[in-house]
């Protein structure tokens, strides 16, 4: 492979690489121990609102896609610790309260297309394994169209982003290995409206980032084979 082709591939990779920033925040155990999925979801909804207000009203932009992963430093694998060290050396890791064992890591992503989303699935799935996580949340602005009474074939349905009845929402999706909680909050004139919550198991789906624990199971299977 010649140098020109190599540079083109490198440029394409960097354009598609989804991770913009990684931040860890530590708190005393009584504040950062999430006892169940509902507890984690409540924290993520609070964080999502705070980030939305900051980016919309201070930065004057939409928020990046966020993954929130709670973990205990004492349970992080060697590979997870290496990832944090790489982030420190690369200048993309922000740390606060690192003296505490209980932490939440936030990964901010910018998706350039389907490839970057697939990369994010693998990256976050690997992190769930390396940080021995039991929950995670995905936060993003999105377009949504409520299902109507008339049954329209899927192939004839416009994408939400171009649908005439679309509405802008802030989406918070919190998952364990077996269940998920989804909250939609309408966005109108840069303000958040009332939340709508839906609880379900993972079989019902809810988008590309709804079941990233499958990456953990796949990694565990590979390790048991080796």
**pTM for this entry:** 0.84
**74 and 217 Cβ atoms separated by less than 8 Å:** no
**Residue 9, in any domain of the structure:** no
Indicate whether 185 pLDDT > 90: yes
In a domain, residue 3? The reply is: no
DSSP string across 93-124: EEEESTTSSEEEEEEEE---SHHHHHHHHHHH
The arithmetic mean of pLDDT across residues 185-202, rounded, is 90
The whole-number pLDDT of residue 201 equals 81
pLDDT surpasses 50 at 225: no
Q: How far apart are CA 156 and CA 116, in angstroms?
A: 27
Distance separating alpha carbons of residues 21 and 135, to the nearest angstrom: 20
Indicate the range of 75-79, 144-148, 221-225 predicted with least confidence: 221-225
The residue segments making up the domain with residue 100 are 14-225
Structure token digits, residue 96: 């606060």
In a domain, residue 1? The reply is no
- Mean pLDDT, range 19-39, rounded to an integer: 91
Q: Based on C-alpha coordinates, what's the Rg of the chain?
A: 19
In a domain, 6, yes or no: no
Q: How many C-beta neighbours within 10 Å does residue 197 have? A: 13
- Sequence-separated (6 or more) residues with CB below 8 Å from residue 49: 170, 185, 192
In a domain, 212, yes or no: yes
Query: What's the rounded mean pLDDT across residues 141-159?
Result: 66
Counting every residue written for the chain, the total comes to: 226
Is there a domain that residue 5 lies in? no
Domain count of the fold of the chain: 1
Q: Measure Cα distances from 130 to 23, 43, 71, 216 in Å.
A: 16, 22, 10, 9
The answer to the question of residue 21 being in a domain is yes
* pLDDT value at residue 149: 55
Confirm whether 7 is domain-assigned. Answer: no
Give the pairing type, strands 179-188 and 167-175.
antiparallel
Residue 16 tokens read as 């598609």
């Amino acid at each position: 492979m010649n140098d020109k082709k190599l540079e083109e591939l490198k440029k394409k990779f960097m354009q598609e690489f989804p991770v913009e920033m990684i931040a860890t925040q530590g708190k005393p155990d009584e504040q950062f121990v999430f006892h169940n999925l509902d507890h984690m979801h409540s924290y993520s909804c609070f964080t999502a609102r705070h980030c939305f207000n900051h980016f919309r009203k201070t930065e004057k932009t939409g928020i990046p896609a966020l993954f929130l992963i709670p973990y205990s430093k004492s349970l992080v694998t060697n590979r997870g610790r290496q990832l944090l060290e790489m982030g420190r050396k690369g200048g993309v890791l922000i740390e606060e309260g690192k003296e505490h064992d209980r932490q939440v890591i936030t990964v901010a992503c910018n998706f350039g297309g389907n490839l970057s989303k697939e990369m994010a699935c693998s990256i976050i799935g690997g992190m769930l394994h390396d940080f021995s996580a039991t929950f995670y949340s995905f936060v993003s602005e999105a377009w949504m169209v409520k299902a109507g009474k008339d049954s329209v074939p899927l192939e004839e349905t416009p994408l939400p982003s171009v649908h005439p009845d679309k509405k802008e929402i802030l989406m918070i999706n919190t998952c364990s290995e077996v269940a998920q909680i989804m909250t939609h909050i309408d966005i109108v004139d840069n303000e958040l409206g009332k939340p709508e919550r839906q609880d379900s198991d993972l079989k019902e789906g809810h988008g590309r980032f709804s079941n990233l624990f499958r990456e953990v199971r796949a990694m565990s299977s590979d390790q048991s084979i080796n």
